[in-house]
């Protein structure tokens, strides 16, 4: 297994900072729109959206066909869930609420084939081109290209970040600022939260890896964070983009009407 430097099908090998968005709508049209808009990757959100496995499978396939890197935020840490998502062709997973090094070890092993992990072989799945991909290539790609990204959403997780990032099976971390701040009884902009996020970014740099953040509809803030060391960003999501555009359109009409 090549370590370090897995790129998620090239996502982390690009010169420009990867920018993505969340997918929450159970339809193929938003995937196409995000591709035409120029996003580098999408994250199918199985944690906070009512999407099932079959829908995730279709969205993963569409994203890959349109030239975007398909990632999935899984709803839990179980190896069986991770197995199905990777068999479906996802190039990486985001795992919510990874708070300890032990949890990061388990998640990382669920993403890798033996002897580096416990992922089961499923070469007749989409990830193995329905059995047409040579088995050695299937196993190599599964170990070398798939990204494992724990989400840090507690003070405990942030403190464990250096040890998590030292694991060969962990490729990056993602700080869930909303949950982190909520667990502290603060807001994402509170100085204490900002300091913790900064420490996670520093830990990622020290490990030669990346730390990602989400910014909603705030591209200027995202760009500033990149200048300060953030390694990949998520902007808004398909449902919020639709909601904001719809509300803005109606508001503009009402203003013009009067």
Contacts of 170 (CB under 8 A, 6+ apart): 104, 107, 108, 148, 149, 150, 164, 209
Sign of the Cα torsion 135, 117, 53, 23 reads: negative
Which residues form the catalytic set?
48
Asked if residue 146 lies in contact with residue 2, where contact means CB atoms within 8 angstroms, the answer is no
Task: Kindly tell me the burial class for residue 245, based on how many C-beta atoms sit within 10 Å of its own C-beta (0-12, 13-18, 19 or more).
Answer: exposed
The token pair at 161 is 């970040």
């Amino acid at each position: 297994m090549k370590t370090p430097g897995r790129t998620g099908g090239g996502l982390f090998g690009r010169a420009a900072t990867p920018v993505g968005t969340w997918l929450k709508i159970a339809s193929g049209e938003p995937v196409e729109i995000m591709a035409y808009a120029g996003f580098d990757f999408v994250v199918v959100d199985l944690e906070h959206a009512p999407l099932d496995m079959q829908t995730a499978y279709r969205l993963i396939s569409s994203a890959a066909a349109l030239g975007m890197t398909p990632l999935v935020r899984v709803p839990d840490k179980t190896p069986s869930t991770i197995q199905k998502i990777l068999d479906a062709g996802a190039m990486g997973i985001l795992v919510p609420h990874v708070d300890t090094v032990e949890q990061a070890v388990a998640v990382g092993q669920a993403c890798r084939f033996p002897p580096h992990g416990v992922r089961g072989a499923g070469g007749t799945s989409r990830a193995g081109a329905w059995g047409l991909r040579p088995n050695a290539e299937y196993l190599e790609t599964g170990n070398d290209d798939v990204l494992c990204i724990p989400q840090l959403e507690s003070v405990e997780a942030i403190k464990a970040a250096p040890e998590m990032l030292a694991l060969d099976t962990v490729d990056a971390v993602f700080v869930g600022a909303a949950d982190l701040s909520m667990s502290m009884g603060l807001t994402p902009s509170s100085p204490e939260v900002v300091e913790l996020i900064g420490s996670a970014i520093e830990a990622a740099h020290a490990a030669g890896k990346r730390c990602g953040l989400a910014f909603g509809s705030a591209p200027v803030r995202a760009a500033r964070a990149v200048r300060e060391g953030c390694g990949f960003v998520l902007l808004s999501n398909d449902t919020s983009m639709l909601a904001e555009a719809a509300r803005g359109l109606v508001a503009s009409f009402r203003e013009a009407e009067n």
